[in-house]
Amino acid sequence: MSEESVKPGTVVWRDLTVSNAAEVREFYTRVTGWKADPVSMGDYQDYSMLTDGGECVAGVCHARGVNDGMPAQWLIYIKVADLDRSIAECTALGGKVVHGPRTMGDNRFCVIQDPAGAVAGLIG
């Protein structure tokens, strides 16, 4: 699926950012059967988690570098048409931005918290 064909509102990614990513990576490989594919982050590695068929379904990342301050929980990332407009709506409706916005590849993303305290990533 090309990036252009992803409709706003679609969950496009999920990951977990924790201080002990190698330990948590091992936990999920054993519990779910995922295979870990290391992703170089310079002086450490994060992990793309793959199915037996090789499909990349999630990430397990260290809470350091650009990921410092990310909440330690599974996050979904939702495609939005206009990140700045979505951020403005979020704050106008009583939510807040807890991380970012920042650039990731060709996109920008942030992590928001809704008025009930739940968090999600927005990517545009």
What is the reported pLDDT for 87? 98
All structural domains of the chain with their residue ranges: 11-73, 74-124
Paired residues of 15 in beta bridges: 59, 75
Between 3 and 34, the more confident residue is 34
The confidence score (pLDDT) of residue 4 equals 63
Q: pLDDT tier at 3 (50, 70, 90 boundaries)?
A: low
Task: Say whether pLDDT at 1 is over 90.
Answer: no
Specify the long-range contacts of residues 18-22, CB closer than 8 Å, at least 24 apart. 18/60, 18/61, 18/62, 18/63, 18/72, 19/62, 19/63, 19/64, 19/72, 21/46, 21/47, 21/60, 21/61, 21/62, 21/63
Report the alpha-carbon distance of residue 13 to residue 66 in Å, rounded. Answer: 17
Q: Do domains 11-73 and 74-124 have the same CATH topology?
A: yes
> Any idea which architecture 11-73 has in CATH?
Roll (3.10)
pLDDT tens-digit map of 52-106: 999 999 999 999 988 998 888 999 999 999 999 999 999 999 999 999 999 988 9
- Whether the per-residue pLDDT at 51 is higher than 80: the answer is yes
Q: What angle do CA 8, 10, 59 make, to 5 degrees?
A: 125
pLDDT at 66: 85
Q: What does pLDDT average to over the chain?
A: 94
DSSP state of 8: T
| Topology classification of domain 74-124 | 2,3-Dihydroxybiphenyl 1,2-Dioxygenase; domain 1 (3.10.180)
Q: Give the tens place of pLDDT for each residue, 88-99.
A: 999 999 999 999
- In this structure, of 35-44, 64-73, 94-103, 110-119, the range with the lowest mean pLDDT score is 64-73
